């Protein structure tokens, strides 16, 4: 009986280590995605600008920043992204909510 308990403990520990390592790999991958989004957005890629704006708006793997979100939505909208134009209109219409969160 004691051997079964040891095997179960070993399996649980191995599973926990695997999950922790998998989580670390996931976050490193997400950080890499954000870094690449910045690079592509600065180069003028419309989709990257829109995705980066959405990440700033939601605070997804970056610190939530309304000004940066509006900036990137505006860049994407000026470059012809129709959905970014809609997001920008909605964002500016609801900008008071963003200011209230900071208070």
- pLDDT, tens only, 37-55: 999 999 999 999 999 999 9
pLDDT tens profile 11-31: 999 999 999 999 999 999 999
Q: The tokens of 48 are what?
A: 């990257």
DSSP 62: S
The C-alpha atoms of residue 73 and residue 87 are separated, in whole angstroms, by 7
Over 80: is that where the pLDDT of 1 sits? no
pLDDT reported for residue 93: 82
Residue 103: pLDDT band (50, 70, 90) is: very low
């Amino acid at each position: 009986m004691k051997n079964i308990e040891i095997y179960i403990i070993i399996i649980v520990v191995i599973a926990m280590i695997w999950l922790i390592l998998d989580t670390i790999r996931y976050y490193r991958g997400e950080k890499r995605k954000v870094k690449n989004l910045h690079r592509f957005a600065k180069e003028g890629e419309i989709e990257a600008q829109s995705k980066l704006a959405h990440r700033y708006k939601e605070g997804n793997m970056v610190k939530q920043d309304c000004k940066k979100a509006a900036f990137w939505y505006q860049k994407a909208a000026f470059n012809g992204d129709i959905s970014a134009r809609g997001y920008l209109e909605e964002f500016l219409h609801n900008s008071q909510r963003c200011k209230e969160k900071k208070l």
